[in-house]
Structure 1
Amino acid sequence: MSETIDILDKKYLDPVFLEYGMEVYTYEHVDRLRNDKELRKKIIAPNAGSQELVLACDSDLMIHVGLRGSGKTAVLCMNSYQSIESPAFTGMIFRREINDSKDTGGIADVSKTFYGGFGTFLSSSQNMTWNFEAGGSLKFGYYSDGYDDFVTRLRGRGVSYIGVDELTQMKFKYFRFLFSNNRNSHGLKNQILGACNPDGDSWVYRFIGGKYIAKNGEKPRDKWLDDEGYPIKEMDGVELYFWIYGDRVDQIYWGTTKEEVVEQGRKEMERLVDPITQSRIDNGETSLEEMFVLSCTFVTSYTAENKSLDADDYLKRIAALSPDERARDLGGRWVRRSNSDTLIDMDDMDNFYNNSHQTSNELYVTADISYGDKKVSDPSVFFLWRGFHLEAVEVCRAGNETLKLYAEQYLQKWGVGEENFCFDATGIGSGMNERFTNSMQCDYRTKAFDQREAQIGKVKQQISSYENVKAQCYDNFANRMKAKGYSVNQSLLYSKMDGKALVDHFNEEYVAIARDRQKDGKFQALSKREVVYSIGHSPNFIDALWQREYIELVKNNNKRKAKRTGAWLL
């Protein structure tokens, strides 16, 4: 069959396109060619299904998750075809390290298959560029250097097509900066295409996963992943709209329409509009929707779509991997790496969300403190507890004195005595100490409460199983969580707080409850620096949660003191 077909025969051209002077082959002809093992070697064509979907997408941002052998690199190269014959075309494809692209099998090497008929390739240690015969160009870049150097290298460039190979390896702030370069004045399509494998520990997971609330009072909506990290079939190839209003990946407004996004961010957007632009809005020449809102589509490619592979043989080899690896490489699941450091998991969090109320008559307030106005990234978080049941939550951004007044009013509102108020007093929270002298001031660095006397050589010393009280609180909190000792008012979970649902804050931050296994001997909590690196910001909500254990330690310690004092008097 393959020997008798002239693949360029014009009889296979689509008559509908011919009426408009366009020579486009019929889908049936292309499908026949790519399904023939011999003919496929003579053509370049996307796999049927997800690759076609990616290449036909007009979204500002396309995130293409390719499972093993599905052809992510091929899509990154083919995505420039629609503009490659324009003399004004400019493109860039990024890898982490400069040598990643040019190594044998790297994307610059692979690109010769796709671009060899369109121009010449210049390759040096610092410059890898395709110069196309039509006058356009495509350069291979990197982003492993410092952010300032990265910005300096790209500033002022207008690039219509930007591809990022292994998007999960690029830091969020580098990615965000790329939008300022994704522009042209020649009518070409502007698009960023990020290709990657599923990585549940990356910022991309938080970008495409979780839920969002477009309108107050509405039920939360899924983005593209379900609660277990699997792609939602009905959302594959569906376009959503967004606006990044802050510095972090969780500071994004989402919606199914541009109008929904604008309604969430209208006040912030209007503050950014200058008088000249405002007059254009008033005259109907532009709108907040067109000025601020971007579109994003998410697509997953599966191994079986690649007809050039022996899918059965390949899949049975993947099936020999661990359960997590199989779920990732066959099912597209975004798995958070099994980490022995993490003391609780999503099962524990689900139990917390759905547990019966762990209440008592005792009321407490815990708070994670941060000072600053609305432009500051981290809010102060206040939790009201009835026993071990989280009853109410509020967030606040305010300066020092205003925040102290807010805390006083919060205690009064719920009838909680100062002696039952616990806040972090390690850093800037120590500014609350003088106002709340009778409170439980949790300095994470102080000694744990399990101090005991031990004979070490000829000297008696106080020893502990924990590096500090924070480590002890982490351990106790994890144990109580696993014993289903905590509960939460379920009506709070999907309430929007600091830009997203409370449940999303918890699901993002629970990994902070972790032990540093690099430290031998005593139990040591994972450092704040490591936590911030992992989740991208301070774990304000989870910090306010585990402080409930500090209250228990203080209470139990006071009881022991009272018993010892009573025995002495007797």
Structure 2
Amino acid sequence: MSAVDYIRPQDGYQMKALSSFADIVVGGGAAGVGKTFSLLLEPIRHIHVKGFGAVCFRRTTPMIRTEGGLWDASGKLYRKISGAKPRENTLEWKFEKGPKIKFSHMEHESNKYDWQGSEIPLIMFDELTHFTKSMFLYMLSRNRSTCGVKPYIRATCNPDPDSWVADLVEWYIEQDPNSPNYGFPILERQGVVRYFASENDKFVWGSTPDEVYQKCKAFIDLQVEASGGLVQPNDFIKSFTFIGGSIYDNKELLKINPGYLGNLNLLSEDEKVRLLGGNWKISSKGNDIYDFKKFNDIFTNSYVPEGQKFITTDIALKGSDKFIIFVWSGKRLVDFHVMGKSNGKQVIDKIKEYAFAYSVPFSNILFDNDGVGQFVDGFIEGAQEFRNGGTVLPNNESGEKENYNHLKSQCFYHSGDAVSRGEYFVTEFAANKKYDATMTLRERLLWERKAVKRGNIDKDGKLCVIPKVEMKNFLDGQSPDVMDAFMMREWFDFDENDTSGSNVAISQSYDSDDEERLNDLLDFLN
């Protein structure tokens, strides 16, 4: 008789996470706790239930398939179950009684709609902080069941104070900055079940379902009435808990791979506190130019006033970079245009088209003068040049040149500060326009934001941003085109660049001599 291989959770985090009856459990412990193992263990309890199915999400497919990743981990566990059959091409396991466990990605915001009409009894998110709040809420609406298993959600994550998940678990984390435990999970609150409803994209919390109902009574009653009584108030209220943990709970890992703990101790002090200690107030993004939460506000700061009209444009004719036009009214981004590979005539015509449509004087057009952008000056009379590596501008108050290595760094730092002060607004019209087949402008801005970081102070003590080649490392090799055009708006706020008295006439004319002259120049530049 062959030996029986028992599969069970370890005491500590794993046992707590797998014992909770809450509708939603988020495991937000430190690295090495065994969060992913617990996630994979969760659906096994239902593999004998006819009609049961589970989906486990990672943000991208490579994260699932990578060596030692989620798919490999599932194989180590599920192959021990009699009758379990893997289907690697579809990333799913099928069990004898029919239940399936599928692994899938949600790389782009639009991928959530791939699950429209789905009925998923158990939804799991590995690394919840990698997903957007709207993805989570949409999939919550797909969390349905007719197989007899009450629908529920399980998720894991590492601490990330800049993510929306930090707000979700706030009650479970010490928020007092004067406490020695600031940012760490509050031990006595781990596993405590709370309740919430989502009203107008905001979570409303309470210690009991009735407390939540009273806070959302008008909203919930309206929905109950509209359903003709087919749904009840409690159907809008979810139970929730958060469970932290420590690598020291994971005895099996420490036995098999004791060097992992040593590797964590090699991290910087901040990263060690975050990943080893499980602290939710230590940011891994301390060198970001744009604060995560404040940058999200640019899409809701509708109070930002209209103002003088401007165009900022980042020009690209060849390669993978995009040609970007941003149209501004004050610091309201009111429209934008993106074009892939383009020729010189298309660039000039498109800039003039937007200038005419929005009554932007040519003197209020700012173009990137590096590389091929330099041809613009000869064809849009009075347009202003932005030189990325150019001389820094003097401070408006002191008149002294500021302490940056070049103009691009100066404008990025000023832009980040202005965003933190709430000075920018991206209109809904502009935000929802498509950047490409997979992203809107809103999504692209949020994606590129993380690539704009402070660089090391140079030998002269000057502030700088990291080089573009390093920014591309955060963007799968792509250029931060929209953030460049966004940053350039700050140029107009320096007194030295005041264009309020300028008024170069707008013309849509573009004759054959212009085209011939432009082509000659482009041949020379190339």
Aligned equivalents of 1:113, 1:101: Cα separation in 2: 14
Letter in 2 for 1:299: I
* Counterpart in the other structure of 2:267: 321
Aligned equivalents of 1:338, 1:473: Cα separation in 2: 16
1:197 to 146, 150, 158: 158
Deviation at 1:63, TM superposition (A): 0.3
Structure 1 341/100 Cα, relative in aligned 2: closer, same or farther at 3 Å? closer
SS in 2 for 1:67: coil
2:186 to 223, 232, 236: 232
Aligned equivalents of 2:128, 2:12: Cα separation in 1: 22
SS in 1 for 2:204: strand
Alpha carbons 2:289, 2:413 under 8 Å: kept? no
Aligned equivalents of 1:174, 1:475: Cα separation in 2: 25
Aligned equivalents of 2:463, 2:271: Cα separation in 1: 33
* Counterpart in the other structure of 2:112: 150
Structure 1 380/71 Cα, relative in aligned 2: closer, same or farther at 3 Å? same
Q: Which runs of 5+ in 1 are unaligned?
A: 1-5, 9-41, 210-221, 281-285, 347-368, 371-375, 383-399, 401-423, 430-444, 456-462, 478-511, 525-529, 531-549, 555-570
* Counterpart in the other structure of 1:483: none
Aligned equivalents of 2:96, 2:420: Cα separation in 1: 67
**Deviations 1:439-476, CA, capped at 9 Å, x for gaps:** xxxxxx9x987289899xxxxxxx99964996597599
Letter in 2 for 1:173: S
Structure 1 142/468 Cα, relative in aligned 2: closer, same or farther at 3 Å? closer
Aligned equivalents of 2:416, 2:21: Cα separation in 1: 52
* Counterpart in the other structure of 1:135: 98
Alpha carbons 1:515, 1:523 under 8 Å: kept? no
SS in 1 for 2:252: coil
1:287 to 228, 232, 257: 232
Alpha carbons 2:26, 2:156 under 8 Å: kept? yes
Aligned equivalents of 1:202, 1:468: Cα separation in 2: 22
Alpha carbons 2:25, 2:242 under 8 Å: kept? yes
Letter in 1 for 2:204: Y
Aligned equivalents of 2:225, 2:301: Cα separation in 1: 28
Aligned equivalents of 2:156, 2:420: Cα separation in 1: 41
SS in 1 for 2:68: coil
Letter in 2 for 1:121: K
Identity of aligned residues (%): 26
Structure 1 515/87 Cα, relative in aligned 2: closer, same or farther at 3 Å? closer
* 2:240 is the counterpart of 1:296: yes
Deviation at 1:270, TM superposition (A): 2.8
Alpha carbons 1:448, 1:467 under 8 Å: kept? no
Alpha carbons 2:56, 2:102 under 8 Å: kept? yes
Aligned equivalents of 2:57, 2:271: Cα separation in 1: 26
SS in 2 for 1:254: strand
Letter in 1 for 2:216: G
Aligned equivalents of 1:473, 1:137: Cα separation in 2: 50
Deviation at 1:301, TM superposition (A): 2.3
Structure 1 381/297 Cα, relative in aligned 2: closer, same or farther at 3 Å? farther
SS in 2 for 1:309: helix
Task: Give me the TM-score of the superposition, normalised by structure 1.
Answer: 0.51
* Counterpart in the other structure of 1:339: 286
Aligned equivalents of 1:114, 1:158: Cα separation in 2: 25
Alpha carbons 2:271, 2:284 under 8 Å: kept? no
Aligned equivalents of 1:472, 1:187: Cα separation in 2: 51
Alpha carbons 1:467, 1:522 under 8 Å: kept? no
Letter in 2 for 1:171: T
**Deviations 1:502-547, CA, capped at 9 Å, x for gaps:** xxxxxxxxxx9x99748x99999xxxxx9xxxxxxxxxxxxxxxxx
Deviation at 1:72, TM superposition (A): 1.6
The root-mean-square deviation of aligned C-alpha atoms, in Å, is 4.8
* Counterpart in the other structure of 1:243: 197
Alpha carbons 1:448, 1:472 under 8 Å: kept? no
Deviation at 1:317, TM superposition (A): 4.4
Deviation at 1:333, TM superposition (A): 0.5
Deviation at 1:263, TM superposition (A): 2.0
SS in 1 for 2:21: coil
Once the two structures are superposed, the pairs formed by residues 302-317 of structure 1 within 5 Å of their partners are 302-310=246-254, 314-317=260-263
Alpha carbons 1:98, 1:142 under 8 Å: kept? yes
Aligned equivalents of 1:82, 1:138: Cα separation in 2: 12
Aligned equivalents of 2:151, 2:291: Cα separation in 1: 43
* Counterpart in the other structure of 1:73: 36
1:188 to 149, 153, 162: 149
* Counterpart in the other structure of 1:358: none
Structure 1 98/253 Cα, relative in aligned 2: closer, same or farther at 3 Å? same
Once the two structures are superposed, the pairs formed by residues 391-540 of structure 1 within 5 Å of their partners are 426-427=331-332, 450=396, 467=411, 517=454
Structure 1 226/7 Cα, relative in aligned 2: closer, same or farther at 3 Å? farther
Deviation at 1:427, TM superposition (A): 3.0
* Counterpart in the other structure of 2:130: 169
Alpha carbons 1:452, 1:464 under 8 Å: kept? no
Aligned equivalents of 1:305, 1:165: Cα separation in 2: 19
**Deviations 1:38-83, CA, capped at 9 Å, x for gaps:** xxxx421101022111111111111012423221221111101221
Alpha carbons 2:172, 2:185 under 8 Å: kept? no
Structure 1 378/244 Cα, relative in aligned 2: closer, same or farther at 3 Å? farther
Letter in 1 for 2:107: S
The higher radius of gyration belongs to 1
Aligned equivalents of 1:331, 1:426: Cα separation in 2: 41
* Counterpart in the other structure of 2:276: 330
Aligned equivalents of 1:472, 1:194: Cα separation in 2: 32
Aligned equivalents of 1:345, 1:295: Cα separation in 2: 28
Alpha carbons 2:289, 2:412 under 8 Å: kept? no
Structure 1 208/465 Cα, relative in aligned 2: closer, same or farther at 3 Å? closer
Structure 1 97/293 Cα, relative in aligned 2: closer, same or farther at 3 Å? same
Structure 1 120/198 Cα, relative in aligned 2: closer, same or farther at 3 Å? same
Alpha carbons 2:123, 2:154 under 8 Å: kept? yes
* 2:83 is the counterpart of 1:119: yes
* 2:181 is the counterpart of 1:252: no
Structure 1 104/425 Cα, relative in aligned 2: closer, same or farther at 3 Å? closer
Deviation at 1:118, TM superposition (A): 4.0
Letter in 1 for 2:274: R
Structure 1 336/454 Cα, relative in aligned 2: closer, same or farther at 3 Å? closer
Deviation at 1:331, TM superposition (A): 1.6
